[in-house]
Amino acid sequence: MIVCTQLDPSSNKQHRMKERLSDNEILFTQITKLNAELFSQLRKLFSDYKIQGLKHRGETPYGKKYWRALFNREYASAPEPQDGSVRDLQIAMHTVRELIGFADISIQSRGLVDIPLNYGSVNEFFIVPKHRRKGYGTILYGHVEQLFAEHNVDTVLMTPDPVTGVDFWRTMGYEDTGLNIGSGEPLIYRKHLAPGETAEAIDDAISKLRTPTQIIAINPYNKRQLSEMIPIWRAYCLKNDRRFHKRDVKSTAFEARKHRDVSFAAIYYGGGIVGFVLRKDKEEIRFIPGCDESLRLFLAEEEGNK
Ligand SMILES: CC(C)(COP(=O)(O)OP(=O)(O)OC[C@H]1O[C@@H](n2cnc3c(N)ncnc32)[C@H](O)[C@@H]1OP(=O)(O)O)[C@@H](O)C(=O)NCCC(=O)NCCS
């Protein structure tokens, strides 16, 4: 599907765009396995964008090869849904000569927050670096919002890139849901496209998930999380006469990713890590160093959430 947009010559910003572009017609093309090959430029830009985005989140991302293979798997050869329904859409924004941006959205998302209501999500969104801050992001988002409206999506949720995304998404009308309060992790933002009962019910369900305490699996690629865990691990080793090795935090996190019966999670309270839960060999270690008060608060909080 190709949709065209003419740039508005009366807008100064768009006039500047027109001068830069070799053609004044912006096209939106839905990526399918049939045309993904035409966008080989997109595959390269997609991997650069993923690598940068994960770095911004404090994670060590996989290399370009990994993201290009993922692009092929997810976009260039993904099977069509059997029932003919539309759940995800990938849109390339381009002129006849060059790619300008890309968006991946879900009409019925499940992954971002666990609530029994339908919401849409913006999963990926970028503008080619040399074209940023010229209004293209706003145009691409306008098209995306139109698609959400066509599919009767009332509310959209997303996690903006903490470095390059937050100001843009605020400008697009998105607000922080406050779900990150416990962990200081990337924020979940939301926008109601159709305020009403469903939107209120979604806000209500989200507010029930808000808590100052969260238990989050330790991500072996998240440098920020690993370095916050190290003093806690050291305190645990000291208390239990165990040899302390910094690297054990990362290797245990990797072990937990590989083995189903191992889990290693950080306990967040009020925005920082206060302890950990390690489940291994059918044993559970719950450790919150030196602060009986926070342990008491945490357990009371956890009981309250049940
Ligand atoms: C975020 C992104 C999509 C914005 O695209 P863009 O084409 O530069 O956005 P626009 O030019 O339409 O910006 C619209 C408004 O958003 C805000 N904005 C956009 N980028 C901003 C930035 N880096 N810093 C501050 N405000 C910003 C501004 O208010 C801007 O209006 P202005 O230029 O008149 O001040 C683009 O910077 C990008 O691809 N970044 C890397 C990937 C990314 O972060 N994607 C979002 C992750 S979900």
Cα of 131 from ligand 1 centre, angstroms: 10
Which of 143, 177, 209 is the last residue before a domain boundary?
209
Report the DSSP pairing between strands 119-127 and 155-158.
parallel
| Contact by Cβ (8 Å): 256, 263 | yes
Classify 243 as helix, strand or coil: coil
129 and 248 share one domain: no
143 and 286 share one domain: no
Which of 155, 176, 209 is the last residue before a domain boundary?
209
Predicted local confidence at residue 80, as pLDDT = 67
71 and 193 share one domain: yes
| Contact by Cβ (8 Å): 17, 127 | no
Angle at 217 between CA 212 and CA 222, to 5 degrees: 100
The mean pLDDT value for 211-232 works out to 86
Classify 211 as helix, strand or coil: coil
| Contact by Cβ (8 Å): 191, 172 | yes
Classify 220 as helix, strand or coil: coil
| Contact by Cβ (8 Å): 98, 189 | no
Residue 181: which residues within 8 A CB-CB, separation 6 or more?
210, 211, 212, 270, 271
Report CA torsion sign: 24, 28, 33, 36.
Answer: positive
92 and 124 share one domain: yes
156 and 250 share one domain: no
Cα of 238 from ligand 1 centre, angstroms: 47
37 and 155 share one domain: yes
- State which of 7, 167, 168 you would mutate to test the pocket of ligand 1, scoring each by most atoms of that ligand within 8 A of its C-beta: 168
Tokens matching residue 33:
């396995």
Tokens matching residue 150:
């066509």
| 172-204 pLDDT tens trace | 999 988 887 656 566 789 999 998 898 999 999
Q: Is the pLDDT of residue 33 over 70?
A: yes
Instruction: Please tell me if the CB atom of residue 168 comes closer than 6 angstroms to any atom of ligand 1.
Output: yes
The mean pLDDT value for 59-72 works out to 86
Cα of 137 from ligand 1 centre, angstroms: 6
The mean pLDDT value for 249-254 works out to 95
149 and 221 share one domain: no
Element (H, E) at 294: helix 292-305
Predicted local confidence at residue 163, as pLDDT = 85
Cα of 126 from ligand 1 centre, angstroms: 9
The CATH number for 222's domain is 3.40.630
Phi, psi of 28 (to 5 degrees): -115, 120
Instruction: Please tell me if the CB atom of residue 182 comes closer than 6 angstroms to any atom of ligand 1.
Output: no
194 and 226 share one domain: no
The CATH number for 96's domain is 3.40.630.30
Which of 15-24, 208-217, 233-242, 294-303 has the weakest average pLDDT?
Answer: 15-24
82 and 169 share one domain: yes
- State which of 124, 133, 166 you would mutate to test the pocket of ligand 1, scoring each by most atoms of that ligand within 8 A of its C-beta: 133
Cα of 133 from ligand 1 centre, angstroms: 6
Instruction: Please tell me if the CB atom of residue 189 comes closer than 6 angstroms to any atom of ligand 1.
Output: no
First-to-last C-alpha distance (Å) of the chain = 47
Buried b (16+ CB within 10 A) or exposed e, 170-198: eebebeebebbbbbbbbbbbbbbeeeeeb
170 and 225 share one domain: no
Higher pLDDT, 102 or 163: 102
Total domains in the chain come to 2
Q: How far apart are CA 128 and CA 115, in angstroms?
A: 34
Cα of 24 from ligand 1 centre, angstroms: 21
Tell the residue nearest (CA) to atom 21 of ligand 1: 168
Which of 209, 225, 258 is the last residue before a domain boundary?
209
164 and 18 share one domain: yes
119 and 133 share one domain: yes
Q: Residue 275: beta bridge partners?
A: 267
The mean pLDDT value for 286-302 works out to 69
Predicted local confidence at residue 213, as pLDDT = 77
Higher pLDDT, 66 or 34: 66
| Contact by Cβ (8 Å): 206, 244 | no
Q: What is the span of the domain harbouring residue 155?
A: 2-209
Q: How far apart are CA 240 and CA 259, in angstroms?
A: 25
